Structure 1
Amino acid sequence: MDKDLEHSFVTHLDQNQNIVHKVCRLYTNDRESHNDLFQEITIQLWKAYPKFRGDAKFSTWMYRVALNTAITLYRKSKKSIKTADFDAMDFKIKAEEYDDEVEEQLKLMYKAVKELNDIEKALVFLYLEDKSYREIADTMGITEVNARVKMNRVKTKLKKILNP
């Protein structure tokens, strides 16, 4: 195993792990599932890291891998997420504490977002991360115009969910 590659990966992951936590929060309902999904996304990021060419920002690439992993696992099993064994990899990544004490307004928003389909969830997530429509389009593999149209539809849908 290339130590430079491993060091680079761990550094990138450590600096951007909040992205993975946010994706996990969207697609899980409890701490155990959150931790399992975090682990699975980390494994998928590690497996894909040698192919990361740097054409996009690391965070954009990380969003794409994390969202694809979460959506794939979520679709396979709506109730529980199965994860790969991570014991073989010895990364020393300091996990940030995940704060379960979120504000009431944030809880309501997450509850509304959970009613959206997988693609809509991903759009909202990237939008809330202040990503430009260009970055959203690149991450999701769609056109910028399509990203704008879909986001406007999602905003309308969320308003209906939050204000029935």
Structure 2
Amino acid sequence: MAPPPDEQEFQRWLEQHRSILFKVARTYCRDEDDRQDLLQEMLVQLWQALPRYDPARAAASTWVYRVALNTAISFHRRHAGRRAARVPLPPELPQLPDAEALEREQQLRQLEQFIEELRELDKALMLLYLENKSHADIADILGISVSNVATKVSRIKEQLRQRFARQTA
């Protein structure tokens, strides 16, 4: 068994990857208190798993995503029914006239609602996809094949197209 990580080194390492933890926590927890609980759980899991991390097998960011997503999925399952999950969308939208802005905001809410309703693995996949991760990176993080990622992304996008078509018809 590897020795426990050095606390200061762990803090430096966390600083490099903190954005990943916050993105995953925001995706799986709408409530701030729940988000803080999840972040704490992620930190514990990372601390405990760090001695087993092998940089030859995965990039640090890939490994952090994997631990964070697995922790979030477990957390979400344990608290199902009490907590709602959502995937935040990028806030950097162009300035639009009021009518267009309202329509765009409604579409974003519909997309968030659709993503909230996905199964945990698909939700994680969409989080990574919306972060512009490559299919190879997504496959590595989620532990599935690249072809499975491509298939899932294609199916989810088709479901989304159909859903928007029904709502605008």
Give the TM-score, by structure 1 length: 0.77
Q: How does 1:13-24 map to 2 (within 5 A)?
A: 13-24=14-25
The residue aligned with 1:96 is none
Provide the rounded CA distance (Å) in 2 between the counterparts of 1:107 and 1:38. Answer: 25
Q: How does 1:32-47 map to 2 (within 5 A)?
A: 32-47=33-48
| SS class of match (1:29) | coil
The residue aligned with 1:10 is 11
8 A Cα contact 2:20 2:65, kept in partner: yes
Structure 1: segments with no counterpart, 5+ residues = 82-101
CA separation of 1:42 and 1:160: change in aligned 2, threshold 3 A: farther
Q: What is the deviation of 1:108?
A: 4.5
The residue aligned with 1:145 is 147
The residue aligned with 2:28 is 27
Post-superposition CA distance 1:114-145 (Å, at most 9, x none): 11110110110111222111111111111111
Paired residues in the alignment total 144
Provide the rounded CA distance (Å) in 1 between the counterparts of 2:75 and 2:138. Answer: 21
Aligned-partner residue type, residue 131 of structure 2:
E
Structure 2: segments with no counterpart, 5+ residues = 84-90, 94-104
8 A Cα contact 2:38 2:72, kept in partner: yes
Q: What is the deviation of 1:106?
A: 5.2
Aligned-partner residue type, residue 73 of structure 1:
F
Post-superposition CA distance 1:34-76 (Å, at most 9, x none): 1111111111111111111112111100000010011112112
Provide the rounded CA distance (Å) in 1 between the counterparts of 2:4 and 2:70. Answer: 27
Provide the rounded CA distance (Å) in 2 between the counterparts of 1:14 and 1:73. Answer: 23
Give the TM-score, by structure 2 length: 0.75
| SS class of match (1:116) | coil
Greater shift in the superposed pair: 5-14 or 121-130: 5-14
> Match for 2:122 among 105, 120, 123?
120
Which structure has the bigger radius of gyration? 2
Q: What is the deviation of 1:3?
A: 9.1
Q: What is the deviation of 1:146?
A: 0.8
